[in-house]
Structure 1
Amino acid sequence: MLTLNRQPIPILVYHQIAGAPPKGSPFRGLYVAPAAFARQMAWLKLLGYKGLSMGALQPYLRGELSGKVVGITFDDGYRNNLTHALPALVKHGFSSTCYAVSGLLGKTNIWDENIGIPQTPLMDEAEIRQWVAGGQEIGSHTHRHVNLLETDESGCREEMLLGKTGLEAVIGRPVEHFCYPYGHYKARHVELARELGFATATTTQRSRCHAGMDLLQLPRVPVLRSTTLPVFWLKIATAYEDRRRK
């Protein structure tokens, strides 16, 4: 199914909401300080935007509703999303989707260990339920955060299925939104997402969402440690990110 939104919709992507590790650490830019995140959410509210989870964003993507909306997503399921992002989201009445890795709940980002990214706690089952109780949504990021391009057909199906059913068992409700780990996927993985009943799937392709895009290949807008408030505004309100689409 293709998007039918009447105006561009940015879907923001965050990873860790925490102070950055020391200079020289890999992927240091993926850390957004809690105070910076709180300012960004306050600014969205001030500008008249509503921050929404992927589930709440669907009617806008399908063209059934229109308005100043922004999707808010978090990749990987870090505990610091719960401790540092949730209060700001709740304060402004925003919802969001956190893509968790079902087989690593309560563990750390072990998929990053070999490239030197510091190990950080992921939400455990109780914290996942706390996230949902706070008005937020859980999406799937596979079972073990695998690279789908390096996994055979049966392995991909298993990873995507267990990622979904494992989280459904934790929260007691359907998990309908998916995110491709590392942003790596091909056409068959899109079909698998469709076969498994996902309503949306997000990528690491940079752009706001425009009409005519596949709901299972949605681009997003990265928010980084270096994203100042003026650049944040450019990302959501102008074609700044659209020009970076490959």
Structure 2
Amino acid sequence: MYHSISTSTNPLFKRWAIAVEMFEKHLTYLSLNQYTPITVTDLVLARKNGSAALPSRPVVLSFDDAYEDFYDSAFPALARHGFAATLYVPTAFVGSTCDWLRQEGEALRRMASWSQLAEMSAAGIECGGHSHAHMQLDAIPVAAAAADIRRCKAVLEDHLGRQASSFAYPHGWTTNAVKRLVQSAGFTSACAVKNMPSPPLDDAFELARLVVTGEMNTTDLAKLLTRRVTPLEVTLRNVARPIWRCVPRSRAWLQSYLPEVTRESATL
């Protein structure tokens, strides 16, 4: 899971931005080691059909948030290598800026435009939903979450003229209720984070992803791609997940009850 492909970033956001040159090295490593990038939807369909259609070394390259630097830097690099990828789009911010990144000092980071997304979609980049307003869906009322998810899908399909099949949960958090909302909206898969490989029997609506951060070189990438997760690690993560979720959920709940002026002051 990548985010920004850029070196121009606030220090608070640096973890989520990888330099163009290093990203190119990542792609070269994948090519030299005979990995075949496929989309999230390709992966889910292949697994549904018994995984026989999967290449010998499949890898999914997913990118959250649809920053303009994906169009400027990642898209051309992927095209040079002939690689597929999935880009997750928070539809309310297309052609605008990243208002949800105020605390990271990146509220003015540019987003891709609809014309850029249409060009990439036509070239084979899968454009999936990343909610409409980039809200933490498990921390808002169910009706609001349902409306946001449905709106995201409708806006994406209206602008791009093709089905939006995959979804990624903003901030990576979800619940069984939110998963059902995503499925009922018509998506066929959804990505969480988990920072572990996606096993063959992974939940199609809570797919695990590995996190790629700005400081990772090709050696780090190789370790990430080949590491194995033990049953104990899975158990510990499942136990810890509700505890970790309480922190962002509490923050989201608190902000929803604070006056607008207080919320603005808190983000300075």
* TM-score (structure 2 length as normaliser): 0.82
2:21 alignment partner in structure 1 = 35
Report how many residues are paired. 232
Mapped to 2, the partners of 1:241 and 1:226 lie a distance apart of 25
Match for residue 45 of structure 1 among 31, 35, 40: 31
Structure 1 segment 1-246 matched on structure 2, within 5 A? 13-21=1-9, 25-62=11-48, 63-66=51-54, 67-117=56-106, 119-239=108-228, 246=237
AA aligned to 2:225 is: I
Structure 1: gaps spanning 5 or more residues: 1-12
The residue matched to 2:61 in structure 1 has which SS? strand
Structure 1 or 2, whichever has the larger Rg, is: 2
| 1:241–1:164 CA distance, 2 compared to 1 (3 A) | farther
Q: For residues 102 and 60 of structure 1, what CA distance do their matches in structure 2 show?
A: 28
TM-score for the superposition, normalised by structure 1: 0.89
More strand by share: 1
Tell me how far apart the structure 1 counterparts of residues 69 and 231 of structure 2 sit (CA, whole Å): 29
SS of aligned partner of 2:37 = strand
* Residue 8 (structure 1) aligns with: none
State, as a whole percentage, how many aligned pairs show the same letter: 23
Name the CA distance, whole Å, in 1 between partners of 2:202 and 2:171.
20
Q: State how far apart, in whole Å, the 2-side matches of 1:182 and 1:244 are.
A: 21
Letter in 2 for 1:103: A
The one-letter amino acid paired with 1:14 is Y
- Flag the structure with higher helix content: 2
- Is contact 2:191-2:208 (8 Å) kept? yes
SS where residue 186 of structure 2 aligns?
coil
Q: Structure 2: 5+ residue runs without aligned partners?
A: 238-268
Q: Secondary structure at the match of 1:222?
A: coil
Please report how far the alpha carbon of residue 44 of structure 1 lies from its aligned counterpart in structure 2 after TM superposition: 0.3
Q: Alpha-carbon deviations, 1:88-124, whole Å to 9, x = none?
A: 1111111111100111111111011144335211011
Counterpart AA for 1:17:
I
8 Å Cα contact 2:65-2:88 kept in structure 1: yes
What's the C-alpha RMSD, in Å, of the aligned pairs?
1.8
SS of 1:211 mapped into structure 2: coil
